[in-house]
Amino acid sequence: MNNVPPVQSGQQPFKKVLIANRGEIALRVLRALQQLNIASVAIYHHSDQHSPVVQQADETIEIVGDSPSAAHLDGQQIIEICQQLNVEAVHPCYGFLSENAEFARTLEQAGITFIGPKADIIELMGDKITSRDFVARHGFPVPPSVNLEPDHPDFIRRIVAMGFPVVVKASAGGGGKGMSIVHSQNELEDALRIAASEAEKYFGDKRVYIEKYFTSARHIEVQVLGDGQSVVHLGERECSVQRRFQKVIEEAPSPALTPDKRQEICNTAKGIARSAGYNSAGTVEFLYTSEGDYFFLEMNTRIQVEHPVTEMTFNVDLVAEQIHIAAGKPLSLKQEALVSSGHAIECRICAEDAFNDFMPATGKVLFLKEPGGQGVRFDSGLYLNQAITSAFDPMLAKLIVHAPTRQEAIEKMRHALEELVILGVKHNIDYLDAILGHQQFSDGHFDTGFIKQYASDLSATQPENLQELHAILATALLGERSNRLLAEATPDLHAAIGRWRN
């Protein structure tokens, strides 16, 4: 992991911090702790015992559960570890317990600092219905919506009056879970049932609500930092390239915004965060229509997967700022001093068959060659012989580049993707390159429907099956045992090798 901005020197905010997560984001937080000279504790499920964060942390301890995810979601077990090891604070990263208000509250009651916003703020802004109502009460724009109970006599009438298509959303949701687009009244009953079922399964909360769906809109989010009193923004991120409501490529700044609209949206995000008394790093997400209108979608009360593009354009370590704020220190950043420079793009490298409806992939990491160079950052928790299973999210790593202009950033990213080699599990690198090479993306003319709209163009770039050549190259690289190793990882040799790069 390179090209992460240096942290500010100063008094040590904590003596020991536990990282309540895994993978690339756990390693990212560890790096910030190391630069701040804070002792670290890494927790791990036995399936992750050889991961880089476990190898590099000052202390490590195994967590147990019915599954790897269940172990990481066991807040009481984590609190007991903190008490056992005299941990002063917990950084939840993203996912798992990062937006769990009860976990944050229980930590506070135990005298342990949660590196994130206060529990009351997580409850307020983490719920899509309550946050939307809060934002509307404070005079900020929200999309037309209906949040009545489905058995309310006005439920159907209000939706029909609002007009189709609409989107059904889980109130406590995220990551596209519990979401579906409904194009007619005939589809509504099934969509509500499925969304409520998914919401209860993933979030333990079956509440859903209905929003107007805009067919040609972009997903714009604004990075904010607050200390409970003051709030600053660090520009916006363009997150419109999505599949199944999950982000694929993010960039900063957005090619869609004029300077005036950028200032307006960023000031709105600041106003929302200030109204909530926000005291950490957070992201305010907006829907931006083709007519130039924008509406509040939600607020993520944690560090985002895509935070590196902001770090690279503003040269600020957001994780270090989070830690300082959690320690009770006032914001060290002034809005007038925060100036964006150049353009950054992030690609999410995932274990999936992007040319086959994004089916998840499994295997074993048999070889890894990371890209490098000025303005290239590779955030990864990958290691040789790592088993890639379905136990966790399919994201393997994040590749981020920074360049003076957007076109230069696109070219740098395509070169970096060419350098990146992952053998042993099928991945989406070729598909990402196809997106970057598409004329509509290059021109900046896209919205959240980009992948669906240009599916045939992107699928047409699927590489030919060069199985024999790849076998020869793999043998030269990995030795005589290569074919057996590749066969262990996956029965499809071409899938195992993926895309060969020099």
List the catalytic residues. Answer: 302
Contacts of 365 (CB under 8 A, 6+ apart): 382, 383, 384, 385, 386, 388, 422, 423, 424, 425
Helix, coil or strand: residue 91: strand
Residue-level length of the chain: 502
Angle 318-326/307-314 helices, nearest 10 degrees? Answer: 100
Query: DSSP code of 502?
Result: -
Asked if residue 376 lies in contact with residue 4, where contact means CB atoms within 8 angstroms, the answer is no
- According to DSSP, the β-strands at 39-44 and 59-62 are parallel
Exposed, middle or buried: residue 363 (CB in 10 Å: 0-12, 13-18, 19+)? buried
Name the strand (E) or helix (H) holding 472: helix 467-478
Asked if residue 344 lies in contact with residue 313, where contact means CB atoms within 8 angstroms, the answer is yes
Distance CA 399, CA 410 (A): 12
Distance CA 171, CA 138 (A): 20
Asked if residue 467 lies in contact with residue 493, where contact means CB atoms within 8 angstroms, the answer is yes
Please name every residue paired with 73 in a beta bridge, in sequence order, or none if there are none.
none
